[in-house]
Amino acid sequence: MSIMNLRAGYFSIENPLRVLARWLNRHSYRQTVQINRRKVEVRWTGRAERVLRQRNRPLIVEIRLYFSCVVKKQVLFHRHSELDTTVVKPGLEITFQPIASAACEPREFAASYPPGRNLSQGRAARMVPKTVEIDYCQGSWEGSFYY
């Protein structure tokens, strides 16, 4: 009988300290915005709120749905962007970008997420998430989104 490696797979168990930190620093700030005529609830922690208040420029949060060999969810943080954004609050803006890879090469995909064509028109543009969560932890921005 073999013992399963619970930290190495899709259904892996998360680090308990990380779960505790998330529980202690809840997403207590929230705002609902519209992206592509769909409501999105944006939540952020008190830590993120403190850092946002100290910034001189708005934080641009890019929600990216990347279609390639597999579908990859990404949350990217930018200081400035040429993308069309939606203001969540002063100092925080959000944008949604569905992108299709130019080719399905697993090694290239894993290494650099090669750019492809923007799918901002059509069915992919309607795949806007319902919830986006933002945190600032150990000197870097973290984000996730859910449907």
Which of 35-44, 87-96, 98-107, 130-139 has the weakest average pLDDT? Answer: 98-107
| R_g of the chain, CA atoms, integer Å | 17
What pLDDT, in 10s, does the model give residues 23-57?
776 778 999 999 988 999 999 999 999 999 999 99
What is the average pLDDT across 81-98?
Answer: 92
Q: Work out whether the CA dihedral 59, 97, 121, 83 comes out positive or negative.
A: positive
Rounded-to-integer distance, Cα 41 and Cα 57, Å:
22
Structure tokens at 140: 């870097």
Contact 102/13 with Cβ under 8 angstroms? no
Question: Burial of 78 by CB count in 10 Å (0-12 exposed, 13-18 middle, 19+ buried)?
Answer: middle
> What is the distance between the terminal CA atoms of the chain, rounded to a whole angstrom?
37
